Copies of this chain bind each other. A is one copy, B any other.
Amino acid sequence: MKKYVYQFEEGNYKDKKLLGGKGAGLCEMTKMGLPVPPGFIITTEACLDYNKENRLPSGLAEEIRQNIQAVEKKLGKNLGNENSPLLFSVRSGAAISMPGMMDTILNLGLNDKTVQGLAISSGNERFAYDSYRRFLQLFGNIALSVEDEKFDSVFNEIKAKYGVKLDTEMNAQALKEACESFKKVLREEQKEFPQDVYKQLGLAVIAVFKSWMGKRAVDYRREFNITPEIADGTAVNVCTMVFGNMGNDSLTGVAFTRDPGTGENVLFGEYLINSQGEDVVAGIRTPKPIAEMVKEVPVIYEQLEGVRKTLENHFREVQDFEFTVEKKKLWMLQTRNGKLNAAATVKTSKDLADEGLITREQALLRVNPEMVQQLLHKSVAPKFTGQPLTKGTAASPGVATGKVVFTADEAERRGKIGEIVILVREETKPEDVHGFFRARGILTSRGGKTSHAAVVARGMGKACVVGCEALTFESNGKVARVGETHILEGDIITVDGSTGNVYLGEVPTIDRGFSEELSTILSWADSIRTLGVRANADTPTDAIKAREFGAEGIGLCRTERMFNAAERLPIVRDMILADSQEERIEALKQLFPMQKNDFKEILKAMEGLPVTVRLLDPPLHEFLPSAEELSLEIDQLRGFKHLLDTMEQVPKSVKIKEDPILKKYVKLLRHMSTELAEIKDTKLWDKILEKEEIMLKKVRALAEVNPMLGHRGVRLGITYPEIYEMQIRALLEASAELIKEGKNIMPELMVPQVCTAQELIWVHDMLQSLKAEVEALYGAKVNLKFGSMIEVVRACTRAGRLAEIAEFFSFGTNDLTQATFSFSREDAESKFLPLYNQRKILLNNPFETLDIKGVGRLMDMSIFWGRKTRPDLKVGICGEHGGHPKSIEFCHYLTLNYVSCSVYRVPVARLAAAHAKLKEGKEDFLYKAQ
A positions within 8 Å CB-CB of B = 627-628, 631-632, 635-636, 638-640, 642-643, 646-647, 651, 653-654, 659, 661, 704-711, 715, 718-719, 753, 755-756, 758-759, 762, 791-794, 797-801, 815, 818-824, 826-828, 831-832, 835-836, 839-842, 851, 853-855, 857-858, 865, 868-869, 930
Contacts and interface: CB of A to CB of B under 8 A. Distances in A.
Contacts of A799: 930
A7 B826 CA distance: 72
Given A632-B632, A711-B827, A793-B854, A758 B841 contact: yes
Nearest to A709: B824
B661 A827 contact: no
Contact of A797 (B632, B831, B857): B857
B709 A708 contact: yes
A718 B836 contact: yes
B710 A827 contact: yes
B858 A793 contact: yes
Contacts of A708: 705-706, 709, 822, 824
A826 B703 CA distance: 11
Contacts of A755: 821-823, 854
16 contacts: A642-B661, A705-B707, A706-B824, A706-B827, A707-B827, A709-B828, A711-B831, A718-B836, A718-B839, A755-B821, A756-B842, A791-B822, A793-B821, A797-B820, A798-B853, A819-B819
Contacts of A719: 831-832, 835
Contact of A826 (B653, B705, B824, B841): B705
B706 A709 contact: yes
A707 B706 contact: yes
Nearest to A840: B758
Contact of A822 (B753, B800, B832, B851): B753
A654 B635 CA distance: 19
A664 to B, nearest CB: 10
Given A707-B827, A792-B821, A793-B821, 7 more contacts: A705-B824, A706-B826, A708-B709, A715-B832, A758-B840, A797-B820, A865-B930
Interface of A, secondary structure class, is helix
A711 B823 CA distance: 8
Contacts of A858: 793, 797
Contacts of A753: 822
Count of this chain's copies in the oligomeric assembly: 2
A759 to B, nearest CB: 6
A800 B631 contact: no
Given A706-B824, A797-B857, A832 B718 contact: yes
A793 B755 CA distance: 15
A336 B794 CA distance: 42
Nearest to A654: B646
A566 to B, nearest CB: 24
Nearest 8 A/B pairs, CB to CB: A800-B930, A706-B824, A709-B824, A794-B854, A639-B639, A711-B831, A710-B827, A758-B841
A851 B756 CA distance: 11
Contacts of A707: 705-706, 824, 827
Most B C-beta atoms less than 10 A away, residue of A711, A793, A842, A855: A793
Contacts of A715: 831-832, 836
A632 B858 CA distance: 45
Nearest to A865: B930
B709 A841 contact: no
A490 to B, nearest CB: 29
A638 B643 CA distance: 13
Contacts of A857: 797
Contacts of A841: 718, 756, 758-759, 762
Nearest to A815: B822
Nearest to A632: B635
A791 B661 CA distance: 49
A793 B820 contact: yes
Contacts of A800: 930
A836 B643 CA distance: 49
A646 B642 contact: no
Given A824-B704, A841-B756, A818 B709 contact: yes
Contacts of A705: 707-708, 824, 826-827
B818 A794 contact: no
Contacts of A640: 639
A930 B818 CA distance: 24
A641 B836 CA distance: 45
A597 to B, nearest CB: 31
Contact of A704 (B627, B631, B793, B831): B831
A827 B797 contact: no
A637 to B, nearest CB: 10
A822 B793 contact: yes
A824 B710 contact: yes
A842 B659 CA distance: 56
Contacts of A819: 793, 819-820, 822
A831 B710 contact: yes
A792 B647 contact: no
Contacts of A638: 661
Given A661-B639, A842-B756, A858-B797, A930 B868 contact: yes
A188 to B, nearest CB: 41
A721 to B, nearest CB: 10
A654 B642 CA distance: 10
Nearest to A802: B930
Contacts of A628: 627-628, 631
Contacts of A651: 646-647
A800 B869 CA distance: 28
A615 B892 CA distance: 41
A779 to B, nearest CB: 34
Contacts of A801: 930
A644 to B, nearest CB: 11
A390 to B, nearest CB: 20
A589 to B, nearest CB: 24
A771 to B, nearest CB: 21
Nearest to A640: B639
Which residue among A643, A654, A857, A930 has the maximum number of chain B CB atoms within 10 Å of its CB? A930
Contacts of A930: 798-801, 865, 868-869
Nearest to A715: B832
A820 B868 CA distance: 22
B839 A820 contact: no
A277 to B, nearest CB: 43
Nearest to A794: B854
A861 to B, nearest CB: 9
A697 B832 CA distance: 18
A730 B855 CA distance: 37
A789 to B, nearest CB: 11
Contacts of A854: 755, 793-794, 797-798
Contacts of A797: 820, 853-854, 857-858
A832 B793 contact: no
A851 B794 contact: yes
Contacts of A822: 708-709, 753, 755, 791-794, 815, 819
A868 B930 CA distance: 10
A279 B775 CA distance: 62
B636 A646 contact: no
B647 A653 contact: yes
Nearest to A704: B827
A225 B95 CA distance: 69
A835 B718 CA distance: 9
Nearest to A826: B705
A873 to B, nearest CB: 14
A725 to B, nearest CB: 16
A680 B75 CA distance: 96
Nearest to A851: B794
A708 B821 CA distance: 11
Nearest to A638: B661
Contacts of A815: 822
Nearest to A856: B797
